[in-house]
Amino acid sequence: MALFDFIEGVFLMWNVQSSKEPMRLFKSDFMEFFTHMHPAVVLIIWIPAVVTMAVFGWVRQPEGISPIYFPICLLGGLVLWTLTEYGLHRFVFHFQPRNNWQARISFLFHGVHHAQPMVKSRLVMPPAVSIPLALLFYYLYVAVFGELCGQPHWVYPLFAAFLAGYIAYDMTHYALHHFDFKSNYMRMLRKNHMRHHWKTPDKRFGVTNTIWDVCFGTQVREG
């Protein structure tokens, strides 16, 4: 059963596509609690992590190295986040299930957001998901840049910017669903993301940008 076939069934069963009242996902109140998240929690958890990583990266620079490496690593971390944002959304959040069990997992991860895109408490990633993912990516950075490339001093600034990119992603995603914008860029992003929801759920995977959609052929030209 494809993910969006499963979602369509949810639409018919609950008729809640435009509802701001969240559907219940778990019988357990304890489990249900962790499916809701205020966007401020993202800032409370991850801004200190970004600052800590950036400070560690600055104070642990090897002697004699050009300080230009630090802003270059910050820029590189942001670029890596944009690619990760695209990849997670396209291949993880929108992966095509092969059975009902996988379809239900997909629905819990992201399908519920497509079923109820206006529910405010399910627009940012809960810490139960974001923290394990962050640890996974951190140790991946250590393995690739610290061990494989032999540049451990790259890890902290790269990862600081990577986390900053994640914060921007979650805050942007929340804003696109609930705010109006005067900025042409933000209005473009909002239009693009709403069309991902309502017209082309298999396209337009970028949230903070459309660069990788253009590069990988998942952007849709209108007209």
Confidence band, pLDDT 50/70/90 cuts, at residue 5 = very low
Please choose, from the candidates 154, 123, 127, the residue with its C-alpha nearest in 3D space to the C-alpha of residue 138.
154
Q: Is residue 130, in this structure, part of any structural domain at all? A: yes
Q: Is residue 150, in this structure, part of any structural domain at all? A: yes
For residue 87, the enclosing domain spans 3-14+63-174
Q: Is residue 112, in this structure, part of any structural domain at all? A: yes
- Given the structure tokens 């993880």, which residue do they identify? 92
Q: Is residue 74, in this structure, part of any structural domain at all? A: yes
Per-residue pLDDT of 192-210, as tens digits, reads 999 999 899 999 999 999 9
pLDDT for position 1: 41
Please say whether the beta carbons of 54 and 164 come within 8 A.
no
Domain total for the chain? Answer: 1
26 to 108, 128, 199: CA distances (angstroms): 10, 15, 29
Q: Is residue 34, in this structure, part of any structural domain at all? A: no
Per-residue pLDDT of 62-102, as tens digits, reads 888 888 999 999 999 999 999 999 999 999 999 888 888 87
pLDDT for position 20: 61
Q: Using DSSP, state whether 169 is helix, strand or coil.
A: helix
Per-residue pLDDT of 121-138, as tens digits, reads 878 888 988 999 999 999
Looking at every residue in the chain, the average pLDDT score rounds to 87
d(CA 153, CA 34): 35
Confidence band, pLDDT 50/70/90 cuts, at residue 187 = very high
Per-residue pLDDT of 146-183, as tens digits, reads 999 999 999 999 999 999 999 999 999 999 998 889 99
